[in-house]
Structure 1
Amino acid sequence: MVSSTVCLKKLADLQVVWRLCCCLLLCWPLAGRAAEIEIANPQLSAAEDGYVLSADFAFELGPRLEEAVTKGVSLHFVADFELTRPRWYWLDEKLVSRSQTWRLSYNILTRQYRLANGGGLHQSFATLSEGLQMLSRLRNWQVVDKSLVAGGSLRPGETYLAALRLRLDITQLPRPFQISALGNRDWNLASDWRLWQLNLPPAPAAWSDGR
């Protein structure tokens, strides 16, 4: 009985070590990698239906990505936002998790670049730089619904931890490009998570009136 218990314990220890090794191997390619996208001025403010997020992204497309867009390959950029409540006695409580996708494409017939998001909004530009400039300015993205405040999940004035990142989603590339993008720095365009503490701004009086 004792021998069986010892064997099971050793097996469990080996499984822990194996999982740690796997995590290290997965994280190793990211070690020392500089972020290709920089995030500046993230701000959360109250609006009519909830809290909206604004931020600036600084990045450039490499020659290979520019060539791909010009030849008709659509690039999908995804912004991820999370809001958590720090807890000293347990894991942080994740309260909000939102994502938004932008599709950058080129129309060979009209010779215009097009930027569209998941909400159905789209704009056309004469040059790629104009489209990238618009993409780099995140404005008034609603990430928190006012119902979370009305229901008591979020409390204005309390301190929360916010996180934001922007990344090129290579999983939405055509299959041949997905294969080429694996392990290729030219295709791996992403920011690190930008973390900051914020005091939730006061809610408008109209929220408490149910409007």
Structure 2
Amino acid sequence: MIARFFRLFVCQLMLVFACAGAQAADGIEITRASIAASDEGYRLSSNYSFDLTPGLEQAVMHGVALYFTTEIELTRPRWWWYDDKAVSKRRTVRLHYDLLNRQYTVQVIGSLQQSFATLDEALFLIRRPVPWLFAARGDLKSGETYNVTLRMFMDREYLQKPLQVDAFNNSDLRLASHKKTFTYRAE
């Protein structure tokens, strides 16, 4: 009786760890992030690693648009007061499947859109976006060191209202990265 209970307990414990590992794998990982100065200003080059959950993949296949938002914030540390917030920007990318044309479209909000034949091709553009001009040349002081905070998440605010409510309860509809922090010395 005790041996049977112990085996049941061990199986349940293994199931809990397996589920925790699977849940940790669901998310966005920022694999590369760097800032480069150019004549126009400062550009963020970044790469992300993620897969859509089955629920999100199914939602896209039924014509629901998904929005992925990247947030970047640069602050200058000050010992005598709160940190000086130099730049705080957001960029949102829309992923949509057109049921009539049977094409996936990826659009940076406020910019042009591209069409793709497969979901993997469309996700490739979201995972490896073109460098983003997030700050003008005069926004950062040359020679100053800034703390950079970067994160990417599926923006539930853009979802249709019934899906917004469901997204709070359904972990299958949530996708986000942890905040990545690093320092950058402005040129």
**What is the TM-score of this pair, normalised by structure 2?**
0.83
1:84 deviates by: 0.3
1:119 deviates by: 2.7
| Cα distance in 2 for residues equivalent to 1:181 and 1:119 | 26
**Which stretches of structure 1, 4 residues or more, deviate above 6 A after TM superposition?**
none
User: 1:188 aligned to 168, 174, 178, which one?
Assistant: 174
| Cα distance in 1 for residues equivalent to 2:162 and 2:79 | 47
Percentage of pairs with the same residue: 42
Q: Structure 1, residues 1-22: CA drift from partner, whole Å, max 9, x if none? A: xxxxxxxxxxxxxxxxxxxxxx
Equivalent residues of 1:53, 1:138 under 8 A apart:
no
User: 1:100 aligned to 91, 95, 98, which one?
Assistant: 91
User: 2:120 aligned to 129, 137, 159, which one?
Assistant: 129
The residue type paired with residue 121 of structure 1 is L
| Cα distance in 2 for residues equivalent to 1:41 and 1:63 | 26
1:155 deviates by: 2.2
User: 2:161 aligned to 171, 175, 178, which one?
Assistant: 175
2:16 paired residue number: none
Q: Which runs of 5+ in 1 are unaligned?
A: 1-32, 149-153, 203-211
Give 1:123-162 correspondences, 5 Å limit. 123-148=114-139, 154-162=140-148
Q: Structure 1, residues 165-207: CA drift from partner, whole Å, max 9, x if none? A: 111111111111111111321111001111001111x3xxxxx
Q: Which runs of 5+ in 2 are unaligned?
A: 1-22
Q: What is the DSSP-based 3-state SS (H/G/I as helix, E as strand, rest coil) of the residue aligned with 2:122?
A: helix
Q: What is the DSSP-based 3-state SS (H/G/I as helix, E as strand, rest coil) of the residue aligned with 2:152?
A: strand
Q: What is the DSSP-based 3-state SS (H/G/I as helix, E as strand, rest coil) of the residue aligned with 1:45?
A: strand
Alignment pair present for 1:37 and 2:28:
yes
| Cα distance in 2 for residues equivalent to 1:133 and 1:50 | 26
**What is the aligned length?**
164
2:8 paired residue number: none
Q: What is the DSSP-based 3-state SS (H/G/I as helix, E as strand, rest coil) of the residue aligned with 1:102?
A: strand
Q: What is the DSSP-based 3-state SS (H/G/I as helix, E as strand, rest coil) of the residue aligned with 2:131?
A: strand
User: 2:65 aligned to 47, 70, 74, which one?
Assistant: 74
| Cα distance in 1 for residues equivalent to 2:31 and 2:84 | 25
User: 2:109 aligned to 108, 112, 118, which one?
Assistant: 118
**What is the TM-score of this pair, normalised by structure 1?**
0.74
Bigger shift: 65-74 or 139-148? 139-148
The residue type paired with residue 95 of structure 1 is A
Equivalent residues of 1:53, 1:143 under 8 A apart:
yes
User: 2:185 aligned to 176, 195, 199, which one?
Assistant: 199
1:61 paired residue number: 52
| Cα distance in 2 for residues equivalent to 1:85 and 1:43 | 17
Q: What is the DSSP-based 3-state SS (H/G/I as helix, E as strand, rest coil) of the residue aligned with 1:182?
A: helix
| Cα distance in 2 for residues equivalent to 1:40 and 1:121 | 26
Q: Structure 1, residues 121-163: CA drift from partner, whole Å, max 9, x if none? A: 2111110011111100132201111132xxxxx2222211011
| Cα distance in 2 for residues equivalent to 1:184 and 1:101 | 22
Alignment pair present for 1:51 and 2:42:
yes
